[in-house]
Structure 1
Amino acid sequence: MKALESILAWVQENNPDLYNRYCMAKHEEEHGAHFDKAFATKAVAEMYHTAPDGSKRYGERWTIDEVKAAVEPFRGRMHDKDNYWDAYVAVHMWWHDLGRNYKQRDPNNYEAALIEDAVTWAFCDEDAPDGKIWHYIQSMK
């Protein structure tokens, strides 16, 4: 075990991208294609979009508790294995990628539609594989 730890420490220092891919593969092998707090917060922290003023906006827009409350009405439509950390990632990905479009169409009520569409896309796709948001985020790296 010490040899493996030593090798992984070297990889982490010298090739962080490879180390991250290893960690994600190990997580998926042990826990399935679903986010936990550590992977979800890292994924969201790396997300960004360019605001109308030209500045880049990174990371979290809603806390996990806010996401839980927002997606609770849709929980019955989600697969049993889908969890709130998956939803946290999906909602933030949708906000960073499409939030401006939603806000332009309905400035006063865009967040509800954005959240519903994010949940529908990520979790209510009958022909998608288990862990759709996990696989999608990995494909973006």
Structure 2
Amino acid sequence: MKLQVGTMFTLRSFGKIDSSYELMMADHLIAHQRAFTKPLRYDGIEEVFPDFILTDAPGPAVYVEVYGMPKREAYGARKRAKQAHYQQARLPVVEWDITSPLPILPRSDPSAGPGQELPPGIDDRDRFHRSELKSTS
């Protein structure tokens, strides 16, 4: 019998993280005391699948994209398609291309809490609130 072992990045609250760059962004969000959700594949977002969604921003939820594979042509095409979708749908988005410093985050709304509207298809169980957030650094 052969034993195979794998690893998976997670947040302290056990939210799945897909890459070390997403972990850096999650730490950045936590350090800035932002409330966010990490969509999972089963959440049913068809047009785009953001890495995170800020749930404490004034107005609609803010999508967060981490572009971590800048040298892959197919990834670049998907990045451009996502950017076009966000622009066409007029959705607020924070983007981080890993070749640049982490982005400045939009101001949070201190009154935003569990009741803020999430985009359709996002499961509320994956929401991280300020009271649960602790930096890993």
TM-score for the superposition, normalised by structure 1: 0.25
TM-score for the superposition, normalised by structure 2: 0.25
Which structure's CA Rg is the greater one? 1
- Higher helix proportion: 1
